A = this chain, B = another copy of it.
Amino acid sequence: MEETFGIAELAREFDVTTRTIRFYEDKGLISPARKGQRRIYHPRDRVRLKLIMRGKRLGFSLEEIHEMIDLYDVDPSEVAQLRHFLQKIRERKNALSQQQMDIAAILEELKTLETQCSKLLKEKSPS
């Protein structure tokens, strides 16, 4: 028997409002089952939410996230789709590699700043 979740439950888990989750549904990012008029979320919906949150932390738009998520649902029997898919993957990889470099650059600068800064502090207030 598969575990399911309510909307409020997931909202708590991911620290967003229920409005946000419904908004993602509106945008086609998730499509939970219904029981009567209520939304029932299965584990795969939860996984999707997790992917969405990660995408957001990385600064992607919902539309970009939509594209990325759909990659996981491609029909592997369609060659054309597969090619397109592969191209998308490579684009994403490039974008992310660029981000990695950006982050590495900033972290380097921040480290330098941190060192300088705490040295200054030690001089000024030798606790």
Q: Which residues of A contact B (CB under 8 A)?
A: 54, 57-60, 71-72, 76, 79, 82-83, 85-86, 89-90, 92-93, 96-100, 102-107, 110-111, 113-114, 117-118, 120-121, 124-125
Complex Cα spacing A79 to B58, Å: 34
Pick the residue among B71, B76, B114 that contacts A93 (CB under 8 A). B114
Residues of B within 8 A of A83 (CB): 121
Task: From known contacts A79-B124, A117-B86, A121-B86, infer whether A105 and B60 are also in contact, taking CB-CB under 8 Å.
Answer: no
Interchain CB contact under 8 A, B117 and A82: yes
Interchain CB contact under 8 A, A125 and B79: yes
Complex Cα spacing A125 to B58, Å: 35
Interchain CB contact under 8 A, B57 and A120: no
Residues of B within 8 A of A93 (CB): 107, 110-111, 114
Complex Cα spacing A92 to B108, Å: 12
Residues of B within 8 A of A121 (CB): 79, 82-83, 86
Interchain CB contact under 8 A, B117 and A85: yes
